[in-house]
Structure 1
């Protein structure tokens, strides 16, 4: 029997607890926990340097459980460290418990929400990059399953880790051979993983993942190599500890509730082969302790220098707004995916190169790195074309699950981008961003608005905030003293005898203004116009008030698909009123063409608005 103070004994306890938790819950992944229990025990009870009582200290080593289905192990660790009772452990996977089936930030000792596989490495890259740039002392460890290595986000993250020379990053592969429904592609052909990581510029060490003496050696060895990220490929066996299930298919996600499994486990784990000589030690804190500064002072921030009537794009205003923010908020960081000369994050990169992160054309890692940066105290803004954010849908969704307040800009929105064609047109982004819990969606019409909304995004910490920007240069509508706010709208036009209320956002605000001019001149009619620059939350009171003023007639016009867009949103929100609501939106697949040509084709231009008013 392993000595009670050995790492092997802690590995035994982790296996035992994860089994009991899964049996009590009636669900779980004990076999996935068993394969990496020795690794986790070695990390937490021998290698990691961190303050048990100050989880947020920037002096700490960090651990990310990318294979989130092994969550029971993580919870069991913190029980053994004295941070939760055995009774609380047994609430695993129940409704009122923070011990969820896959970790979220509801659990105070989880670095990130994981469980959608393939994201942990990218988050670790973000944390390691921040630590490297800020000269922090700790290492970032991330435990991955071999099955999740087939997610492409990992390869983006590997390339970026190598590019930035993140020698404070240690990836550990739990190579247990078995996936959910079948063996993994390479099973135990460790050389296949070795060659790939070497090709990506990692130092590679191979180890028996159930031999803690070997594990102790390789963990010590990574600290002797610099300028390259590290990977430890651990050959393990799924279900290790119960011979009836070890290395056998068909037991993934099975709680092993049969009491015979528990008896077999207790018998077989009485002897810990080759492991009893490594003595465990509780984590010690690293001094001095470093804390993050998450607050910036927005007082006295620079104002936009545009004059009403100037032609400036909202993406340009966003870029300059970042620079103004960066001058006052030293914790603001900006990430881009090789389109900084289009999103105009290049302004920030030039002003504050040490706080700019180039993620190249890897949108999934763009988001994951931002999540990692935020965990270390940065306030990250990330930008790319709105259309390309669809590739990072899962990563954004997981950031929302983890309550990470990312600030995202999607440029080149709608058919108005013109000749580049539909692959470049963001037409689904409002729908996706709106449905995220606690999200904010902003769609400024002019550069003053986009410039100043950057500050509101910085201040918003309850969830993800998203700004949708337009490619085209458009006239500035507002002077620099105009106030904007989340959940607000601006009434641009209101007359005594308005026929309808036009709800517009972004580029369609200008089409609404053109339509008003036509209606006045040719038909002697007027309409009210609302610039709904805050889409979620939106100013329902103003929308209702002006629609009632206009006889209950509302026309919503947007450069976005109808499904999930502004029109559908407002229609659902106003069911209590007997309004006549007309929605003008992009309804079929667009094509290349000139901006005005496409707005006309989609029937979201001034003439389409005029005709909609006349039909009322």
Structure 2
């Protein structure tokens, strides 16, 4: 376990650096949420998901849906690193004519569906998970949401359906960083007692430090958390995790780095690498 955790931490640091490079080069992207979610997606893609870039349409593959689609640059960096497409393509992110647009686009290998209009992840994941159950498939479906996204009504319709159909092959994850584009989640649309809300809809709820890879591994390796129930992982994270001037700062929900900020961010990430 210690070796796995060390390797995943190193990989997460590399992915954060890739995200910073992509966002700085393109002058676009949602860097704060990408950095808060990096440990979650790194754990999933490098240790949990049953996927193969050489057989990306395998009917028995696990499915991942990025419901908080505005952090597409993070997903693209991981897919490129995993070999779903050439890493050189990352240089075209948000450029005219590129398929690497600002929200997940399934013209890119490894992207299951187009997302970005918030609230779609859970309902679509419910459909995929239900299809898996009815087809007697063993695949699992994971979807990552933002905490601000919890204000979308379609999420709760999907939540109710998932419990009704006993979809224990479905895993929802909430990036609970406490910030959204307009400020804190509690100022915009309070999420007090979020665990209780999901539990009341019939989900088995697990809370975890979403920036602690060892904790994430333990949770994801114990899926389903309870037989016969969908699992909701509330991952408490830090927006802008890993970059001192971005951490817990709302303006980095979406922000363009200056050359000086870019240099400082890379220096901080290189410092983490040197200390491993």
Is the CA contact 2:177–2:236 (under 8 Å) kept in the aligned structure 1? yes
Query: What is the root-mean-square deviation of aligned Cα atoms in Å?
Result: 2.1
Partner of residue 175, structure 1: 176
What do residues 41-64 of structure 1 show as CA deviations (whole Å, max 9, x unaligned)? Answer: 000001111222111112111100
The offset of 1:215, in angstroms, is: 0.3
CA contact (8 A) 1:78 1:84 kept: yes
Alignment of 1:110-509 (within 5 A): 110-185=111-186, 192-223=193-224, 225-268=226-269, 270-271=271-272
Instruction: Check whether the contact 2:205–2:231 (CA below 8 A) recurs between aligned residues.
Output: yes
Q: Using the alignment, how far apart are the partners of 1:112 and 1:18 within structure 2?
A: 21
2: distance between equivalents of 1:20 and 1:4?
24
| Separation in 1, partners of 2:249, 2:109 | 34
Tell me what 1:38 maps to: 39
| Pair 1:228–1:3, CA change in 2 (3 A) | closer
Residue 50 of structure 1 corresponds to: 51
> Partners of 2:39 and 2:187 in 1: how far apart?
22
Aligned residues: 271
- TM-score, with structure 2 as normaliser: 0.92
Aligned partners of 1:270 and 1:29: how far apart in 2? 23
1:63 aligns with 2:64: yes
What is the 5 A alignment of 1:15-34?
15-34=16-35
- 1: distance between equivalents of 2:128 and 2:200? 23
1:96 maps to which residue? 97
1:160 is displaced (CA, Å) by 0.3
Q: Residue 239 of structure 1: CA displacement?
A: 0.5
For residues 228 and 213 of structure 1, the distance between their equivalents in structure 2, rounded to whole angstroms, comes to 24
* Higher RCO (CA < 8 A, seq sep 6+): 2
Classify the secondary structure of the residue corresponding to 1:27. Answer: coil
Aligned residue for 1:59, secondary structure, equals coil
TM-superposed CA distance for 1:185, in Å, is 2.7
Question: Going by fraction, where is helix more abundant, 1 or 2?
Answer: 2
Residue segments in structure 1 that go unaligned for 5+ positions in a row: 277-616
Kept in 2, the 8 Å contact 1:241–1:265? The answer is: no
Give the Cα separation in 2 of the matches to 1:92 and 1:138.
31
1-structure distance, mates of 2:206, 2:139: 20
DSSP 3-state at the match of 2:53:
coil
Distance in 2 separating the partners of 1:190 and 1:43: 25
- Measured after TM superposition, the shift of residue 26 of structure 1 is 1.0
Equivalents in 2 of 1:109, 1:86: separation in Å? Answer: 13
Q: Is the 8 A contact 1:92 1:100 kept in 2?
A: yes
Judge conservation of contact 2:22–2:91 (CA < 8 Å) in 1.
yes
- Give deviations 1:89-138, integer Å, cap 9, x for gaps: 11001112111111122223211111111101111000000001111011
Deviates more, 1:220-229 or 1:159-168: 220-229
Contact 1:19-1:255 at 8 Å conserved across structures? no
Which position in structure 2 is the counterpart of 1:85? 86
Larger radius of gyration: 1
Alpha-carbon distance in structure 1 between the residues aligned to 2:232 and 2:148: 16
How far off is 1:181 after superposition?
A: 1.6
Shift of 1:9: 1.3
SS at match of 2:252: coil
Question: C-alpha separation between the residues in 1 aligned to 2:248 and 2:76?
Answer: 24
Instruction: Sort the Cα spacing of 1:150 and 1:4 in 2 relative to 1 into closer, same or farther, 3 A.
Output: closer
Offset at 1:3? 9.2
Q: Return the alpha-carbon distance in structure 2 between the equivalents of residues 143 and 221 of structure 1.
A: 17
Where do residues 502-581 of structure 1 align in structure 2 (5 Å cutoff)?
none
CA contact (8 A) 1:190 1:233 kept: no
Q: Deviations over 1:122-175 (max 9, x none)?
A: 110000000011110111000000011100000000000000000000001000
Whole-Å separation in 1 of the counterparts to 2:166 and 2:211:
29
Task: Confirm or deny: 8 A CA contact 1:242 1:261 kept in the other structure.
Answer: no
Question: Which sections of structure 2, spanning at least 5 residues, go unmatched?
Answer: none
How much has 1:193 moved relative to structure 2?
1.0
Distance 1:269 1:198, change over 3 A: farther
Distance 1:269 1:226 in 2: 43
3-state SS of paired residue (1:13): helix
Counterpart in the other structure of 2:108: 107
